[in-house]
Amino acid sequence: MRRLYVIIVNFNTVDLLSECLSRLCASRLDRPMEIYVVDNGSSDGSLQVVQERFPGVHTIDAVGNLGFAGGNNLALREIQAGTSRTVDRDDQYVLLLNTDCFIEPDTLQFTADFLDEHPEAGVVGPKVVLADGRLDLACRRSFPTPSSAFWKLTGLARRYPGHPRFAGYNLTYLDPDQTYEVDSVMGAYMLVRLSAIDDAGLLDESFFMYGEDLDWAYRIKKHGWKVYYYPVVHVLHLKGASSSRQSYRLIVEFYRAMYLFHRKHYAPSTFILINWLITAGIVTRGGYALLRNLTRPAGAKRVA
């Protein structure tokens, strides 16, 4: 039987979490759904609110802050262990969903239908829009190969967003309203086939809160699965609202994830001078982002 599992990792965002769960419970879906909320040591009473208002939701108390990968892995282990090996795991789907990512009533059904109709697909993600209506560029990406990382770090990707050579990282040269096979979608809404998870393994907990979705997609694709961007449906992402407001930590983790991904997947096969240049670029951009954030008004702080 087809089944959908939803995992939400929460850290002190009780209001967003309540809205996110309310929208999930209002979804129109043709299959059973199980929801897991993993609480990363919140102090705002999140778990109590979920248990009182949404008694059908599975809750997991992580006690401390395990990050995005660590929190999701707690639920993923339970789902893998609780799903019988006699069940067709190709028909079991797992959705990673941020608390600040709001869906429409048919969002789950449409993305699940896409995986039903595309057996080669291991992952699908929707069009993700920000509160001001702009496309969240992270919702469809190429892997940060040494060349694409170089164009991004040097600013050429931003300067020439319509050029396929320079704008490959965020695919800004492609029509955002067309379906494409891509390298990765974003972890804020990432629907994954359970059999693809069985193949690729769990999220890499070396990544605390950025980059783990890219790394997961990379490993899933290495096992022969395809990843699709599917803009027939869209979700609203109140980007950053589900993260701690410690901008310094966010910036450090963002650029640390860039370094980890490169070191894990590309550094061993890349000329040492190129590795040095990329590392220097990451450190320089990260330092500039930290300095820029210090001079911004509190309400205008950003990660990158």
Whether residue 205 is found in the same domain as residue 286? no
In this structure, what CATH number is given to the domain that contains residue 119? 3.90.550.10
Whether residue 230 is found in the same domain as residue 98? yes
Write the pLDDT tens digit of every residue in 240-263.
665 544 577 888 888 888 889 988
Whether residue 52 is found in the same domain as residue 196? yes
Specify the number of domains making up the chain: 2
Is the predicted pLDDT of residue 235 greater than 80, yes or no?
A: yes
Whether residue 209 is found in the same domain as residue 273? no
Q: What percent of the chain has pLDDT over 70?
A: 94
Whether residue 184 is found in the same domain as residue 272? no
The answer to whether residue 226 sits within a structural domain is: yes
Contact 115, 25 (CB under 8 A): no
Is the predicted pLDDT of residue 146 greater than 90, yes or no?
A: no
> If we measure between CA atoms, which residue out of 28, 112, 71 comes closest to residue 242?
71
Write the pLDDT tens digit of every residue in 70-110.
999 999 999 999 887 767 889 999 999 999 999 999 999 99
Whether residue 271 is found in the same domain as residue 231? no
> If we measure between CA atoms, which residue out of 153, 264, 272 comes closest to residue 216?
264
Whether residue 38 is found in the same domain as residue 124? yes
The answer to whether residue 158 sits within a structural domain is: no
Mean pLDDT of 172-193: 97
Q: What percent of the chain has pLDDT over 90?
A: 67
pLDDT at 13: 95
pLDDT at 243: 55
Write the pLDDT tens digit of every residue in 61-72.
999 999 999 999
Alpha helices in the chain (DSSP H): 14-25, 46-53, 67-82, 107-117, 146-153, 156-159, 194-200, 212-222, 247-265, 272-295
pLDDT at 245: 47
The answer to whether residue 242 sits within a structural domain is: no
Q: Which two tokens stand for residue 248?
A: 């310094």
The answer to whether residue 57 sits within a structural domain is: yes
End-of-domain residue from the set 237, 256, 279 = 237
Whether residue 257 is found in the same domain as residue 228? no
pLDDT at 298: 56
Reported residue count of the chain is: 304
pLDDT at 244: 45
**Could you list the residue range(s) of the whole structural domain that residue 220 is in?**
3-140+176-237
- Please name the amino acid found at residue 205: E
Whether residue 185 is found in the same domain as residue 58? yes
The answer to whether residue 169 sits within a structural domain is: no
The answer to whether residue 164 sits within a structural domain is: no
Whether residue 201 is found in the same domain as residue 55? yes
Whether residue 90 is found in the same domain as residue 13? yes
Report the first-to-last Cα separation within the chain, whole angstroms.
43
Residue of 291 and 50 predicted with greater confidence: 50
Whether residue 124 is found in the same domain as residue 253? no
Mean pLDDT of 201-226: 96
Is the predicted pLDDT of residue 47 greater than 90, yes or no?
A: yes
